[in-house]
Amino acid sequence: MPSRVEDYEVLYTIGSGSYGKCQKIKRKSDGKILVWKELDYGTMAESEKQMLVSEVNLLRELKHPNIVRYYDRIIDRTNTTLYIVMEYCEGGDLASLINSCIKEMCYLDEQFILRVMAQLTLALKECHRRRDGRTTVLHRDLKPANVFLDIRQNVKLGDFGLAKILSHETSYAMTFVGTPYYMSPDYLRPSVESILQSSLLAHVVSEEQREAQLQLRRRSADSDCALNRVAEQAPPCAAELRLKEQALREREKALKEREERLEQMEKELCVREQQSNEKLARAETLLKYYNRLQQQRDLAPLYSKDIDVENLSPGRMKVHSELMLMRLKAVNLRPH
């Protein structure tokens, strides 16, 4: 059964734009927290509607841990409104995190930057080299504002509104769209290596994190001069791109190995802690036995050290033997 708007509860609005808004919602059936894009397609031009349809179709097809997950779409034809239900990213977006660091005069941790770079590269790899054999996807507007973070600070690549689908026979995208200061030289001067252009965009995103104090304050409207300078530069060769990709893979492998070592150390510490707790419990038990024995010795002359063991009845002999065994255990616990 298709979902309805009534199946969700709107919690609050995260942001809004000229065509709609993004809201945090709760699915009434199970209480799951999600977000939806509420878009008024009635006022859109045909090209914008096509871009919207393209984004919905892409989100439905792209399934990867580092790509924002698509859940559902709801079409309200009466109000010409489209609702795109997606995964909620509790950590916000990377641009907000960078701006926060700039205001607080602090730097992002280098390990965090490396993890973001590695996960972002994996997301782009899924777009460029689809595991299901489908057509290649170029994001074409990769920037910190479109890189989201979950509650554990893992990357979730989103906002595929400007994405371009390439068939296997197509060498490069000729249309000129996106955010100028995040475009790669390959994109400004198309070449056979342009299919890897988003990897360079990822490098720009990483550098902005590393140099957060040098925030990019310029606007796209003032980008003509910068675009001309970038267009005159020779694009990096395919071999250089492959070396960068290999280096990223090695870093990701090293991070995984380090994570495995830490997990192993954590398991060993848990075992040691359990053994220590067991020893402590045994010591406490023996101490209780020892205290009980001392009390019985003080209250019952029958259990004194000078007792005539040979004249005891079988029942008393058994009690006496148990008490002597407890004494020996207590003596073994004393420090020497």
pLDDT tens-digit readout, 277-319: 899 999 988 888 888 877 766 655 544 555 565 666 777 777 7
Catalytic residues, which ones?
A: 141
Using alpha carbons, select from 89, 90, 59, 92 the residue that is nearest to residue 73: 59
- Same domain assignment for residues 33 and 120: no
Q: Domain tally for the chain?
A: 3
- Same domain assignment for residues 198 and 298: no
- Same domain assignment for residues 275 and 140: no
Q: Which residue has the higher pLDDT, 37 or 229?
A: 37
Average pLDDT score, the chain = 76
Minimum mean pLDDT range among 27-36, 102-111, 324-333: 324-333
Average pLDDT of the segment spanning 233-242: 72
Q: What is the residue range of 309's domain?
A: 260-333
pLDDT at residue 91, as a whole number: 92
Minimum mean pLDDT range among 69-73, 150-154, 204-208: 204-208
- Same domain assignment for residues 109 and 217: yes
Domain assignment present for 249 = no
Asked whether residue 268 carries a pLDDT value surpassing 80, the answer given is yes
Domain assignment present for 246 = no
pLDDT at residue 12, as a whole number: 93
Domain assignment present for 113 = yes
Tokens of 285: 């038990």
Domain assignment present for 228 = yes
Average pLDDT of the segment spanning 106-132: 85
Taking the C-alpha atoms of residue 141 and residue 298, their distance in angstroms, rounded to an integer, is 86
pLDDT at residue 245, as a whole number: 86
Asked whether residue 35 carries a pLDDT value surpassing 70, the answer given is yes
Q: To which H or E segment does residue 307 belong?
A: none
pLDDT band at 202 (very low <50, low <70, confident <90, very high): low
- Same domain assignment for residues 153 and 178: yes
- Same domain assignment for residues 223 and 329: no
What CATH code is carried by the domain that includes residue 164?
1.10.510.10
Minimum mean pLDDT range among 21-25, 41-45, 53-57, 73-77: 53-57
CA end-to-end span of the chain, whole Å?
77
Minimum mean pLDDT range among 25-39, 42-56, 82-96, 315-329: 315-329
Q: Which residue has the higher pLDDT, 2 or 35?
A: 35
Q: C-alpha distances in angstroms, 289 versus 277, 296, 319, 324?
A: 18, 11, 14, 11
- Same domain assignment for residues 194 and 117: yes
- Same domain assignment for residues 188 and 299: no
Using alpha carbons, select from 63, 140, 149 the residue that is nearest to residue 108: 149
Among 69, 88, 107, residue at a domain's last position: 88
Tokens of 318: 């058994």
- Same domain assignment for residues 192 and 168: yes
Q: Give the three-state DSSP class for 232.
A: helix
Domain assignment present for 248 = no
Tokens of 196: 């890897």
- Same domain assignment for residues 75 and 148: no
- Same domain assignment for residues 217 and 197: yes
Among 236, 271, 286, residue at a domain's last position: 236
pLDDT at residue 309, as a whole number: 58
What CATH code is carried by the domain that includes residue 32?
3.30.200.20
pLDDT at residue 150, as a whole number: 93
- Same domain assignment for residues 191 and 149: yes
Q: What percent of the chain has pLDDT over 90?
A: 21
Among 236, 270, 292, residue at a domain's last position: 236
Domain assignment present for 212 = yes
Domain assignment present for 299 = yes
Domain assignment present for 97 = yes
Do the Cβ atoms of 209 and 99 come closer than 8 Å? Answer: no
